[in-house]
């Protein structure tokens, strides 16, 4: 299957995410003040290409990536089983970002927006859907930040249906959990959605792309003000230690449970780009539990019990 078989919608989406990548990287560089994103383009031998943008050693952002990829080709058998489809050919494109700040009082953030197509043997689109979401992983809980973050996401979704935010907030609470650690969440959630096909909630394909656009814009509106409020707070070894403990939980989720990571690795994706989501430093301490009543324990409590923030 070659690029001429890709649909017009797929071509449009591929160009759109490149524009978003440039916009987001510019906004984050402006916020950091000194850090700059490296540019690394790559090609997938089986079909497709991508651009990896990485920031490291910044004044605000210790490590982060804003990546785009547009790949296509034949689905491996195990992926056809996972997707429960008989269709052999696919197109998948998306933007995925993870930002790990230096200051433990600034949260890690993740977001992605993707589009998927499956093709029949004649090269016609047989199925298509969107997915995505945004979630916040603080190391210390500031309730006003959690409320603000969720309110931004809620407002973006309400224009497309009043029931979408509570539905996708619940999906996020369910998805971003380390089930092997008694269901401990990696953060305070956000929104998560997948397999949204044309007609879902009365939205056709172009409206779904507009929905993705609104969620991308909400990410910048939700995250950057939190960074600005917290990036100059003083911290010490205790805060760094706890940050590294929680980053360990982040690593566990991404390597064990995350669908995007597993899909990329199992379809021959570029390992360096896929694993850019991992933090530069993490820690595992045997049976570590924060002191009762401490700020660290307060964060852990909301990770164990989802709350309504907006």
Q: What is the pLDDT of residue 82?
A: 73
The total number of structural domains in the chain stands at 1
Please say whether the beta carbons of 120 and 126 come within 8 A: yes
* Residue of 87, 110, 170, 257 marked active site: 110
In a domain, 79, yes or no: yes
In a domain, 171, yes or no: yes
In a domain, 310, yes or no: no
In a domain, 14, yes or no: yes
In a domain, 225, yes or no: yes
In a domain, 74, yes or no: yes
CATH at 230: 3.40.1500.10
Q: Which domain holds residue 109?
A: 3-304
Q: What is the pLDDT of residue 87?
A: 84
Q: Cα torsion at 238, 134, 16, 2 (round to 10°)?
A: 100
Q: What is the pLDDT of residue 208?
A: 97
Q: Active site includes 78?
A: no
In a domain, 219, yes or no: yes
pLDDT by residue (tens digit) across 72-95? Answer: 988 877 777 777 788 888 999 999
Query: pTM of the predicted model, to two decimals?
Result: 0.93
Please say whether the beta carbons of 242 and 290 come within 8 A: yes
Q: What is the pLDDT of residue 53?
A: 97
Q: What is the pLDDT of residue 3?
A: 43
- pLDDT beneath 50: ranges in the chain: 1-4
């Amino acid at each position: 299957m070659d690029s001429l078989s890709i649909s017009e919608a797929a071509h449009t989406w591929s160009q759109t995410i490149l524009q978003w990548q440039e916009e987001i990287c510019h906004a984050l560089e402006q916020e950091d003040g000194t850090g700059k994103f490296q540019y690394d383009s790559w090609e997938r031998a089986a079909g497709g290409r991508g651009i990896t943008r990485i920031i490291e050693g910044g004044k605000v952002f210790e490590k982060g990536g804003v990546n785009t990829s547009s790949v296509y080709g034949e689905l491996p058998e195990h992926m056809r089983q996972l997707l429960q489809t008989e269709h052999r050919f696919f197109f998948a494109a998306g933007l995925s970002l993870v930002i790990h700040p230096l200051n433990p009082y600034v949260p890690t953030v993740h977001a992605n927006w993707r589009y998927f197509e499956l093709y029949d043997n004649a090269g016609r689109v047989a199925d298509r859907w969107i997915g995505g979401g945004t979630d916040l992983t603080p190391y210390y809980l500031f309730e006003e930040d959690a409320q603000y973050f969720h309110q931004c996401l809620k407002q973006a979704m309400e224009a497309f249906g009043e029931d979408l935010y509570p539905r996708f907030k619940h999906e996020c609470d369910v998805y971003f959990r380390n089930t092997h650690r008694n269901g401990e969440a990696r953060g305070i959630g956000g929104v998560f959605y997948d397999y949204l096909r044309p007609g879902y909630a009365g939205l056709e394909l172009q409206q779904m792309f507009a929905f993705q656009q609104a969620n991308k814009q909400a990410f910048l509106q939700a995250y950057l003000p939190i960074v600005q409020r917290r990036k100059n707070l003083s911290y010490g070894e205790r805060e760094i230690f706890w940050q590294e403990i929680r980053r360990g939980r982040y690593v566990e989720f991404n390597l064990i449970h995350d669908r995007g990571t597993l899909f990329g690795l199992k379809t021959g994706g570029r390992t360096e780009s896929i694993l850019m989501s991992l933090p530069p430093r993490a820690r595992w301490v045997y049976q570590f539990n924060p002191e009762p009543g401490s700020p660290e324990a307060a964060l852990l409590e909301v990770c164990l019990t989802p709350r309504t923030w907006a």
